Amino acid sequence: MGPKNVQQIILTLERFWDRQGCVLQQPYDVEVGAGTMAPETFLRVLGPEPYRVAYVMPSRRPTDGRYGDNPNRVQKHHQYQVILKPSPKNVQDLYLQSLSALGIDLREHDLRFEEDNWESPTLGAWGIGWQVLLDGLEITQFTYFQQAGGIDLEPISAEITYGLERIGTFIAQVDSIYDLQWSDTVTYRDIRHREEVEFSKYNFEAANVDMLFKLFSLYEEESKRSLNMDLVLPAYDYCLKCSHTFNLLDSRGAISVTERVGIIARVRQLACEVARRYLASREKQGFPLLESRKTSQPEPA
């Protein structure tokens, strides 16, 4: 029997990807819009070092808030993010095996890979891949990264991003994510609904626009200052803070047409510079993971 509630789904995926030699990381502690933005993806995919990692990433998208009223849309959802670098030949099969581990019988459900190429103008990143549909429901984004921070990638990483709420509603056969059981005794509604109500109100109505504009500039300055001191990882944190601040300003409707493109370009500039410096820094350290056998690929099951 497969998992029934959200935390069992997470545990099942953790066990599965543990067996595939992944580092099981913890969620990154800065607000991001997607698991891709966490350093464990955005930075690790750069350069020649092999790496396998998996982690849950709470992802904030302020404009998707619906005051807790919409059964499927929330300003914060949970992604389960897997990076396999380099992408193994059997990567699609691994992914399908993980669905089987979740108790989904693919001979009784309609699973398909439909063209969907991922792109993030803020990160100067793009990849080629699919959205994975299960009985018509998008449950995963599957991407072969081609570029990050404006840098061509070699080797190519495969990124698998599971939408945990989507998979949860599919398995539990419920119409609303609030009806999901998080654990056996506590529902998604119990622990998340109030958060959705308050943050929707804050994101759309209450956030202090002047302060956010100031913060954006301060974060941007701090990111640049850190870069100048070759403190690449702190610089990236502040780049992420810029991105989230921009998203908040956007949900407040505070960004005009003409400003929008410019602000995205400013964040991208930071991200690209961080990527360049990170790569240089890894090179200076002699690409420490290059010799490592820790992430060597196990034989496919």
Cα 34 to chain centroid, rounded: 3
Question: Under the criterion CB under 8 A, does residue 170 sit at the interface with other proteins?
Answer: yes
Question: Under the criterion CB under 8 A, does residue 130 sit at the interface with other proteins?
Answer: yes
Q: What are phi and psi of 205, to 5 degrees?
A: -120, -35
Question: Under the criterion CB under 8 A, does residue 121 sit at the interface with other proteins?
Answer: no
- 163-194: b (≥16 Cβ within 10 Å) or e: bbbbbbbbbbebeebbebbbeeeebbbeebbe
Question: Under the criterion CB under 8 A, does residue 112 sit at the interface with other proteins?
Answer: yes
Question: Under the criterion CB under 8 A, does residue 287 sit at the interface with other proteins?
Answer: no
Strand partners, 58: 78
Strand partners, 140: 132, 162
Question: Under the criterion CB under 8 A, does residue 260 sit at the interface with other proteins?
Answer: yes
Instruction: Tell me which residue of 247, 233, 199, 207 sits closest to 33, measured CA to CA.
Output: 247
Question: Under the criterion CB under 8 A, does residue 86 sit at the interface with other proteins?
Answer: yes
Question: Under the criterion CB under 8 A, does residue 114 sit at the interface with other proteins?
Answer: yes
Q: Which stretch binds other proteins (CB under 8 A): 17-25, 107-115, 185-193, 212-220?
A: 107-115
Question: Under the criterion CB under 8 A, does residue 261 sit at the interface with other proteins?
Answer: yes
Report the SS3 class of residue 71.
coil
CB under 8 Å to 207, separation ≥6 — which residues? 248, 249, 251, 252
Which DSSP category does 56 fall into? E
Q: Which stretch binds other proteins (CB under 8 A): 150-158, 193-201, 271-279, 286-294?
A: 150-158
Residue 228 or 258 having the CB closest to other proteins: 258
H or E, element range at 152: strand 151-152
Single-letter code of the amino acid located at 192:
R
- Pick from 26, 173, 285, 296: which binds other proteins (CB under 8 A)? 173
Residue 74 or 240 having the CB closest to other proteins: 74
**Contact string (CB under 8 A) for other proteins, positions 184-223, x = contact:** ----------------------------------------
Question: Under the criterion CB under 8 A, does residue 103 sit at the interface with other proteins?
Answer: no
Strand 137-148, strand 158-163: pairing: antiparallel
Residue 18 or 154 having the CB closest to other proteins: 154
Question: Which spans of this chain sit near other proteins (rule: CB under 8 A)?
Answer: 70-73, 86-87, 89, 92, 96, 106-115, 117, 127-128, 130, 134-137, 144, 146, 154-156, 169-170, 173, 175, 253, 256-258, 260-261
